[in-house]
Structure formats: structure tokens, C-alpha cells
Amino acid sequence: MVDESSDSLRTFGAVVQALREHAGLSREEFAKGVQFSKHTVASVELGRRLPDVSFVERAEEITGGTGAIRKAVAHLVRQPGLAVWFRRWAQLERTAITLCTYDCRMVPGLLQTEAYVRALAADQLPPIDDAQIEERWAARMERQKLLVERPNTAFSFILEEYVFLRRTGGTDVTRELIGHVLEVAELRNVEIQVMPLVSPFHSGLQGPMRLLETPEFKWFAYSEGQESGQLITDPKAISILQRRYASMRSQALSPQDSVSLLKQMRGDL
């Protein structure tokens, strides 16, 4: 059987090496530029190591910013259940020390239940098959492990009240979903706030956003639309999104009041 993962690593490594050499950089000079050891650079170029996101970003910068490395890494490893445009963000999530999420359309993946995932999939166009639905749920379960496996990571979620009022999947699905969100809210490293349905102020009307901080204290942002997603690395753009998110945290209900509202909503079902 052909190991597609190993093949893609070797291909990616060859791309990095070719661009490094084209830029006239020795492996040692390149290592200083990407702020990794010469040994790590060699491991990536030989297809023995999966590159960190910071490696990819710095490598892109010092080889001319052609976009070739970013495009190559998107196809590095097949990740069933995750959209192609989301995979780089999912990789960043694994090591984040701070993760902030606001989604105005649905409950975000890190908080979803299996029934909710299946309800969302039922309305997808074009339709997807059972295998794709199973892959999607498996991918979400894998990501949700971060909530308990990374107790030192600070998670913040801002949820719209109306995504629960919509009752996607029906009353039972919504009741279970709210119960699950309440359970997650009990984790010490998780803060959940609800943006009330009636609110004269809302700094997030431009759409959903995600922010994260890496162990190197560097911030990234992500914005997703229909059939597309954008990883944002520009400090100015990230700063704007950080200010918007901070403003929303002050506009949303407090974590305590959010829990009370969710309990009330579950009781009303």
C-alpha cells in the first residue's frame, strides 16, 4: 500500500528545498530565517517531519512570498472531515495557548454534538453521503479533545442566542446541544458567553471570526465564508479583529448570566 502521507511530506520537503536553493540560502541560513534548527530544516526537506505553522509562514517570507509553500502545505496531509481551507487553522489549534471563537451562524465545531452535526449535514447542498457525515463527526470529536487535553489553553466562545432558538434538528437535538454546552462551560479553561437576541450594540456584525495565540505569543486569525476560508497573518488586520472580539465580550452576557440563560432555554424546550 502506498503511504500517501509520506509521499506528501516528501513532496512538500522538495518544494521547500527547491525554493530555499532558488533564494540562494544555505540550509544554515534558512534555519536562522525560520528560527528553527538546521536539523529541523533537514527533517522537513527530507519529508521526515510535519512543519509547524510558524515554520511555513517564515519560510514563505524568506523565499520571496510567492505563496507556493502555503499552497503546498494545504495538501500536505489528508484530514477527512475538515474542509481544505480549514486544515491550516486546525493545525494551529493543536498547540494554541489562547483560542477565541465567534460564529453567528451555528454553534461552533468545538461545542457541537453528534446529533447537531448530523442535523447540519442533512441540509447541506450539494448533499453528502453517510461516509462523509461520519468523517465530519470524527473530525469534530478529534478537535474537541483539545478542550480537556489542553487544560492550560484558554478557550473563549461567544454564541448567538438565536442559534439555539432556531432549534436546528428539532427540540431534542437542541436540548441535548444546550446540555453539552453547559457541561463544557464547567471546565475551568473555558469561558462561554451568549450574545442576547435583543442587543442595541454588537461589534461582530461583519461576520464570524476566530483568534488564537501560539506558544511563541504570536496571534493568528481566521475568517470563513461559504466554500472558503482565510487564515489572517497581517498584524493590523488581527489587531482590528482583536478589538472587535474584546468589544463583543463586553456586550455579551457574562459567563454566569449566559449559563443562567442557557439553563432557562433548555427548561423552556
Among 185, 167, 184, which residue's Cα sits nearest to residue 266? 167
Q: Is 217 helix (H, G, I), strand (E, B) or coil?
A: coil
Confidence category of residue 83, pLDDT binned at 50, 70, 90: low
Does the pLDDT at position 224 exceed 80? yes
Among 219, 156, 220, 216, which residue's Cα sits nearest to residue 185? 156
Confidence category of residue 81, pLDDT binned at 50, 70, 90: low
Higher pLDDT, 87 or 43: 43
Does the pLDDT at position 130 exceed 90? no
Identify the pLDDT of residue 75: 67
Among 247, 261, 124, 238, which residue's Cα sits nearest to residue 185? 261
pLDDT digits (tens, 9 = 90+) for 39-75: 889 988 988 777 777 888 899 999 998 888 888 877 6
**Angle of CA points 21, 61, 79, to nearest 5°:** 90
Whole-structure pTM over 0.85, yes or no? no
Confidence category of residue 7, pLDDT binned at 50, 70, 90: low
Alpha carbon 14 to its chain's center: 27
- Residues 5-25 as b or e (16 or more Cβ within 10 Å = b): eeebbeebbebbbebbeeeeb
DSSP-derived secondary structure for 95-115: T-SEEEEEESSS--GGG--HH
Among 118, 142, 114, which residue's Cα sits nearest to residue 130? 118
Beta carbons of 201 and 212 less than 8 angstroms apart: no
Least trusted range by pLDDT, from 49-58, 207-216, 230-239: 49-58
Identify the pLDDT of residue 169: 94
CA–CA dist 41, 48 (Å, integer): 10
CB within 8 Å of 56: residues ≥ 6 apart = 69, 70, 73, 88
Beta carbons of 88 and 207 less than 8 angstroms apart: no
Residue % of the chain over a pLDDT of 70: 93
Least trusted range by pLDDT, from 132-146, 161-175, 255-269: 132-146
Identify the pLDDT of residue 85: 62
Among 141, 121, 123, which residue's Cα sits nearest to residue 131? 121
Q: How many CA atoms lie within 13 A of 235 on its CB side?
A: 2
Identify the pLDDT of residue 76: 63
Does the pLDDT at position 93 exceed 90? no
